[in-house]
Structure 1
Amino acid sequence: MAVVVLAVLALVVTLVVVLSNSEITANPRCTITAPPDSPGLPTTWTLTPEQADSAATIVGVGRRLGVPDRAVTVALATAIQESGLANLRGGDRDSLGLFQQRPSQGWGSEDEILDPVYSATAFYTALVAVPGWTTMDVTVAAQTVQRSGFPEAYADHEPEARLMAVALLGQAPGAWTCVDLPAAPPADPGTGAVAELAARELGTSRLSGTQPAENGWALATWLVAHGERLALESVTYDGRTWTVASGAWETSGPADGRLSLRRIGQPA
């Protein structure tokens, strides 16, 4: 009997250790994989969920404003350099937010700058007002807007900025995945929060039904990049589904051009 008890205790201890280690080693992250034959792009790039969320906002606002794709790359490279794609509450002197914009330099109030939608809108507005910005190198365009003390640093981040832009603009189907995201339901498992965020960033709350290929993948990727904030269980587009459980895009049905999503805990 004693042998059986010891064996059971050993099994319990083993399970506790395994479960504890799985919690310790959980590594929420998002990965972007470059399409084949993509010269100048890194093969893969990994971000934290916070960085993915910020990138999705920057690109979403760019799509709402209708700026050229190059503006999106400039904005992402700038935010990587300035804040590491984090909505910082401080910085050099009175710098704040994703782009380290300064209230004292006319970028807006502290509360406004700390709103990523506002700060991204302000950056794009300043960028497209620069004469000839479309023919400038990314680092020159960014520096013209930012007036940084390290003007050459923006160029270091152009490759990953381009990779993120390609994925979030829908030009690389299934390239963006997120794994090990928390699987806890939101306080309100309905779709209201999703529609509200989409309306603010994208200018539309229509995130279901048939979508043209590039737009559909742009929306699907935007959703996955915001997956942690929105507590998404799954996103499906054109017969492929990403789930929070698998963290990958898998074939789930016919290629029908339809987009749908499900939040954790959402009623069937």
Structure 2
Amino acid sequence: MEGIAAVQARVAAIQGTMAQLAPARVAAPATAATSTSAPAATGADFAAALTQAVDATALPTVDGFTPEQVANAAAVVEAGRGMGLSLRDQAIGVMTAIGESSLRVVDHGDAAGPDSRGLFQQRDNGAWGTYADRMDPTRSAQSFYRVLATVDGRDRMEPTIVAHTVQRNADPQHYARSWDAAVRLVARITGSTPAQVTAAR
């Protein structure tokens, strides 16, 4: 499809940048011998470096979203495509990331989940991988999709209910408000029509 090559090139660049940044991001706790060294990068530093390191012109502009948000949406889309999931599933992934983090790799949780991190606000409970996994747009999306793929009958369910089944949000309708924006993003990133994105397979 038109635009998919740009997405693939963008994600490849993101993954290369991740490989360079991740070791610094997940630094071991300081010891007496290392306590005077420079502090590890923060989540904000990580997201900013990632955004600056990759050419933003490789992706379309989407009204209402920054280049960083579009790049993160593209990583979610490509993760789903790489796992053989439908455009609708990919849009559910993007919708969830909008609802959880506004498509930003955040390094903080909230009252309900103080240990939640990343695009999907995944908890530090062993189910979603390491801290580095949860802070990586591609790997966190893959973790989300692995659970989504086990949801039987999801093509007949409301998108927000599918996301809720994976995420266990307190409000099953929490993600509904982000569906139209997610469909628009996926359509623009993949060169599809909204009808193609929302079609069940």
* TM-score band w.r.t. shorter chain: 0.5 to 0.7
Per the alignment, residue 83 of structure 1 pairs with 101
Kindly tell me: are residues 136 and 66 of structure 1, through their superposed partners in 2, closer, same or farther at Cα, counting changes over 3 Å?
Answer: same
Query: What secondary structure is seen at the aligned counterpart in 1 of 2:64?
Result: strand
The structure with more helix, counted as a fraction of residues: 2
The answer to whether structure 1 residue 133 and structure 2 residue 146 are counterparts is no
CA contact (8 A) 1:88 1:97 kept: yes
For 1:155, give the aligned amino acid.
Answer: A
C-alpha distance in 2, partners of 1:81/1:150? 11
The answer to whether structure 1 residue 68 and structure 2 residue 86 are counterparts is yes
For 2:92, give the aligned amino acid.
Answer: V
**Structure 2 stretches lacking a partner, 5+ long:** 1-56, 194-201
C-alpha distance in 2, partners of 1:50/1:158? 19
Per the alignment, residue 110 of structure 1 pairs with 131
C-alpha distance in 2, partners of 1:114/1:100? 9
C-alpha distance in 2, partners of 1:65/1:142? 17
The answer to whether structure 1 residue 145 and structure 2 residue 166 are counterparts is yes
Q: Pick which of 144-153 and 82-91 moved more.
A: 144-153
Shift of 1:146: 0.3
User: Greater relative contact order (Cα 8 A, min sep 6): structure 1 or 2?
Assistant: 2
Deviations 1:81-134 (CA, angstroms, capped at 9, x unpaired): 100000011112210100001121511111111111110001111101111112
Shift of 1:151: 2.3
Structure 1 runs of 4+ aligned residues shifted over 4 Å read none
1:1-268 matches, cutoff 5 A: 31-32=61-62, 45-92=63-110, 93-104=114-125, 106-171=127-192
TM-score normalised by length of structure 1: 0.47
**Structure 1 stretches lacking a partner, 5+ long:** 1-27, 33-44, 173-268
TM-score normalised by length of structure 2: 0.62
CA contact (8 A) 2:108 2:115 kept: yes
Give aligned pairs, total. 133
CA contact (8 A) 1:102 1:108 kept: no
C-alpha distance in 2, partners of 1:62/1:170? 16
For 1:47, give the aligned amino acid.
Answer: F
The structure with more strand, counted as a fraction of residues: 1
Deviations 1:133-172 (CA, angstroms, capped at 9, x unpaired): 1211001000000001232120001101011111122215
Query: What secondary structure is seen at the aligned counterpart in 1 of 2:125?
Result: helix
For 1:91, give the aligned amino acid.
Answer: G
C-alpha distance in 2, partners of 1:145/1:120? 12
Deviations 1:169-201 (CA, angstroms, capped at 9, x unpaired): 2215xxxxxxxxxxxxxxxxxxxxxxxxxxxxx
Larger radius of gyration: 1
C-alpha distance in 1, partners of 2:135/2:164? 21
For 1:66, give the aligned amino acid.
Answer: G
C-alpha distance in 1, partners of 2:148/2:120? 12
